[in-house]
Structure 1
Amino acid sequence: MTQFIDNKEFEINLPNRKEFLEDNKNKTFNKVAIFDVNGFGNINHYYGYDFGEKVLKIISLRLENRFLNSKIYYLGADIFASASSEDISKDRFIQTIKSIIWYFGYSPIEVDGFKIYIPLRVGVAINYPELLFTAEFALKQTKIVKHNLVIYDAEQHHICHPDSLSIEQDLYWEGQIIEAVRRDKFEIFAQLISNQFEKKYEILVRMKNSKGEIISPYFFINRAKKINLYSEITKKVIQKSFEFFENKNIEFSINLSISDILEKDVVDFLIQKIYEFDIGHFLTIEITESEGIDNIEEVISFIKIVKNLGVKIAIDDFGTGYSNFSYLVRLQADFIKLDGSIIQDINKTKSAKAVVEAIVFFAKRIGIKTVAEFVSSKEIYETCKELEIDYFQGYWFDEPKNVKKLK
């Protein structure tokens, strides 16, 4: 979406740094994001300072429109801040920030007939006594780690918590993850998804530790998010799975979180690799539905892009969390993956079976295929089959194995 602005109206009507410092002193908020326009000096030098002022005005309007429940400040030069209170959840706050990074990266600003793309770097601090200092430190870290977003959350990150009992464990795993990313110690595993007529695979990631042991994602995925290496792992999964399935004419799926979809680097990398390997028609992207979709317009935009390349869409873990039938149609889902906790209880409680029946009935009416996860016994399989679920996945059929062992 392009934006226009009158030549005479480019003053930024936002609270300034003085008001920001006063609000910070009065502790009116517990979350702060500082936005830096990457390379803004080049815009001023090439197009002129009046042009740059107009660009800053549009940036301020975009931030106000996106952060509906937060206060936006202009701190001077090319620096903006957004702050919110405890009334806004940190997950929603962070997801909005990622949405803004994605939006600025893909939607140019148009001024005086020129289209300008605005890359942002963002430092975030949550629940720290010195919010401004911590957010500014996080912003500086974006240059060091070469990532457009760094988040410091006092409840999760060991920095500023020297007495935390988990510091030793966190340090150990962070070291293992950094080493695994640096030395490419990630392996892709596959688990069969099948029915009587078709076979395809879901790709799962595993990490090798310093001893060569295979480590479950349970131990490293969330920690990788904290140190901003999660997107690097996602890109490795994309690369390795595409390399393996190239020219095999076998359908396979990879998992993308909402965070992945809102990460410009990940989306660019994915699209580049789909073109490079010409593999779109064999690929399904499983979106982790349980995370919720606050930024649905950005997600829909992403889905339209990849669907034009032949990619199918599956909604993972459907039936719990933020399950919502209405957005299945908006997301143009091809598959619903029924949450494993419901499938495991399908023969234990009437409510679990009723939920599955309702989802399958709805899916069939609108032409969406269903997949039962965690099918771990013959009894569960027979019930799922009786309910006319289309595909089955679980230990009753196959356990995840290294793709090198696939026949």
Structure 2
Amino acid sequence: MEEITKNSLFSNRKEFINDIDKKLFNKLVIFDISGFGNINHYYGYQIGEKVLNLVFLRLEDKFLNSKIYYLGADIFAAASSIEVSKDRFIQTIKSIIWYFGYSPIELEHYKIYIPLRAGVAINYSNLIFSAEFALKQTRVLKHNLVIYDSEQHQISHPNSSTIEQDLYWETQIIQAVKKDKFEIFAQSISNQQEKKYEILVRMKDSKGDIISPYFFIDRAKRINLYSEITKKVIQKSFEFFEGKSIEFSINLSISDILEKEVVDFLIQKIYEYDIGYFLTIEITESEGIDNLEEVISFIKIVKNLGVKIAIDDFGTGYSNFSYLVKLQADFIKIDGSIIQDINKSKTAKAVIEAIVFFSKKVGMKTVAEFVSSKDIFKACKELEIDYFQGYLFDEPKNIDSLKEFINNKK
């Protein structure tokens, strides 16, 4: 347990306001402990004071190159300068919400969970007002995190075609979430013995056209609706595969895993549909895993429910063999850009050989993505890749098209 030091809460509200006025920071998050009054009433005010000290210490430990402030009552803040990237700042906040939600503070034989809400402001001239407004919006939107970024929420060129396009797609996404216009598609992953499916999401726009994730996933993240789409994919895919004894996989980003609301929903649905032993969760490796502790904690939880883990897009970006073992992955999905070059580049082939060699040594299975021709398929088989996925076999199809195959199987 963290060591409690007397007078840990050094940076008070006056110092906080002075630092913000000096323009020392361009990123600010304000945290509110949900239901802290209940902690005081149930455990006593002395325990409540110790909890505040430990929250402060944990925030100091998690935030690098940032300054932590206690603003009174149950409110804390963390501020960072341009030295800390926007993505790192946001990922740290999500990690902290996860950490407090699943790692209780232990005091005098009590285990006390600390649910947090967070309002974030980035690159605004009035950081305090913007972050406080974001925090208020968490209650309105019933979400534990709201982010306001001036680059995305401030229209400086109303006639810009890019802004016009963003506004159009944001409207489409909001309407699709409200009216449940997301559909799940499936693409097979197979070898000679078995066939399973990867679940993919598509959106119907106001005209009824099916829209690729390319147009809506990143924008959904910017307007804090990405988690709603993830939950719809979980709900719809679990409903479809319930009782069918067919293995399938869904994709979760690192931000999904750090989103307590998404994880709680996922676990609830795994129990409800009794589907853990047929589910594989694909984690997008190319995003990198800075919050390894929280991701490992998530994996332990779902593995206890029978779920398998696949690392997606392996071989590019942040590829790291060492954390594959730490994550206890069951499958390695080799990035499609490397697979497509297997017969064109000696380097690509050597990378694939190394991945396959490593996976066999540690007992993991490999999946070749983007297998689009017989030549690529043959080369992959020669390297003893275990599973294959790509347009050579089939393209993603609406999940309803699987019903005939499943009925024939029965």
Give the structure-1-normalised TM-score.
0.95
Q: CA deviation at 1:67?
A: 1.2
Instruction: Show the counterpart of 2:343.
Output: 347
Q: Deviations over 1:229-259 (max 9, x none)?
A: 1111111111111111111111100000111
Letter in 1 for 2:122: I
2-structure distance, mates of 1:4, 1:72: 17
The CA distance in 2 between the partners of 1:109 and 1:162, in whole Å, is 48
2:371 aligned counterpart, secondary structure: coil
Task: Name the residue aligned to 2:408.
Answer: none
Residue 380 of structure 1: SS of its match in structure 2?
A: helix
**Equivalent residue letter for 1:350:** K
SS, match of residue 300 in structure 2: helix
Long gaps (5+) in structure 2: 406-410
AA aligned opposite 1:367: G
- Structure 1 unpaired stretches of 5+: none
User: Is residue 329 from structure 1 mapped to residue 325 from structure 2 by the alignment?
Assistant: yes
- 1:142 equivalent to 2:138? Answer yes
Structure 1, residues 256-278: CA drift from partner, whole Å, max 9, x if none?
01111111111111111111111
Q: Which residue of 2 aligns with 1:267?
A: 263
- Cα deviation for residue 380 of structure 1 reads 1.1
Alignment correspondent of 1:121? 117
2:153 corresponding residue in structure 1: 158
Distance in 2 between the 1:336 and 1:327 partners?
12
SS at match of 1:206: strand
Q: Describe the SS at the equivalent of 1:404.
A: helix
Question: What is the identity, as a one-letter code, of the residue corresponding to 2:124?
Answer: Y
2:18 maps to which residue?
22
* Paired AA for residue 368 in structure 2: A
The letter of the residue matching 1:207 is M
Q: Which residue of 2 aligns with 1:68?
A: 64
Residue 214 of structure 1 aligns with which residue? 210
Q: In the alignment, residue 204 of structure 2 is paired with which amino acid?
A: K
Deviates more, 1:385-394 or 1:41-50: 41-50
Contact 1:186 1:207 in 2 (8 A): yes
Look up the SS of the partner of 2:119 in the other structure: strand
Find the partner of 2:197 among 197, 201, 214.
Answer: 201
CA contact 1:12–1:56 (8 Å) conserved in 2 = no
The equivalent residue for 1:404 is: 400
Q: Over residues 148-197 of structure 1, what are the superposed CA-to-partner deviations in whole Å (9 max), with x where a residue is unaligned?
A: 11111223x13353547233222222221111111111110000101111
Secondary structure of the equivalent of 2:153?
A: coil
User: How many pairs align?
Assistant: 402
Cα distance in 1 for residues equivalent to 2:327 and 2:379: 29
Distance 1:52 1:169 in 2: 49
Deviates more, 1:121-130 or 1:285-294: 121-130
The answer to whether the 8 Å contact 2:250/2:280 transfers is: yes
Q: Give, as a single letter, the amino acid of the residue that structure 1 aligns with 2:271.
A: Y
Distance 1:321 1:176 in 2: 31
* CA distance in 2: counterparts of 1:100 and 1:386, whole angstroms: 45
* Counterpart pick for 2:177 among 168, 173, 181: 181
> 2:37 matched to 1:41?
yes
**Judging changes above 3 Å, is the alpha-carbon distance between structure 1 residues 84 and 49 closer, same or farther for their aligned structure 2 residues?**
same
CA distance in 2, matches of 1:321, 1:36: 35
Q: Please state whether the residue corresponding to 1:35 is helix, strand or coil.
A: strand
Contact 1:193/1:392 (<8 A) preserved: yes
In structure 1, C-alpha distance between the alignment counterparts of 2:130 and 2:156, rounded to whole Å: 13
In the aligned structure 2, how far is the partner of 1:30 from the partner of 1:288? 29
Residue 308 of structure 1 is aligned with which of 304, 317, 322? 304
**Residues 1:51 and 1:205: Cα distance change in structure 2 (over 3 Å):** same
Contact 2:9 2:69 in 1 (8 A): no
Q: Distance in 2 between matches of 1:170 and 1:14?
A: 43
The residue identity in structure 2 corresponding to 1:338 is I
Deviations 1:336-379 (A, max 9, x none): 00011111122222111111111111111111111010111111
| Other structure's SS at 1:361 match | helix
Give, as a single letter, the amino acid of the residue that structure 1 aligns with 2:135.
Answer: L
Cα separation, 2, equivalents of 1:160 and 1:216: 26
Match of 2:222 among 213, 222, 226: 226
Give the drift of 1:282: 0.8
Of the three residues 353, 358, 363, the one matched with 1:357 is 353
- Offset of 1:104 from its aligned partner? 0.8
Q: 1:371 touches 1:389 (CA, 8 Å); kept in 2? A: yes
2:285–2:311 Cα contact (<8 Å) kept: yes
1:92-122, Cα deviation, whole Å (9 max, x unpaired): 1111111110111112223344332211111
Q: Distance in 2 between matches of 1:50 and 1:10?
A: 13
| Structure 2 CA distance for aligned equivalents of residues 115 and 283 of structure 1 | 31
Q: Distance in 1 between matches of 2:40 and 2:359?
A: 53
Which of 45, 51, 54 is residue 47 of structure 2 equivalent to?
51
Match of 1:97 among 93, 106, 126: 93
Question: Is contact 1:158-1:164 (8 Å) kept?
Answer: no
The one-letter amino acid paired with 1:169 is Q
Query: How far has the Cα of 1:41 moved from its partner?
Result: 2.7
Q: Is the 8 A contact 1:318 1:337 kept in 2?
A: yes
Counterpart-to-counterpart distance in 2, 1:67 and 1:14: 16
RMSD of aligned alpha carbons:
1.6
Q: Are the counterparts in 2 of residues 4 and 110 from structure 1 also a CA contact under 8 Å? A: no
Residue 258 (1) aligns with residue 254 (2): yes
Give the stretch that moved more between structures: 333-342 or 79-88: 79-88
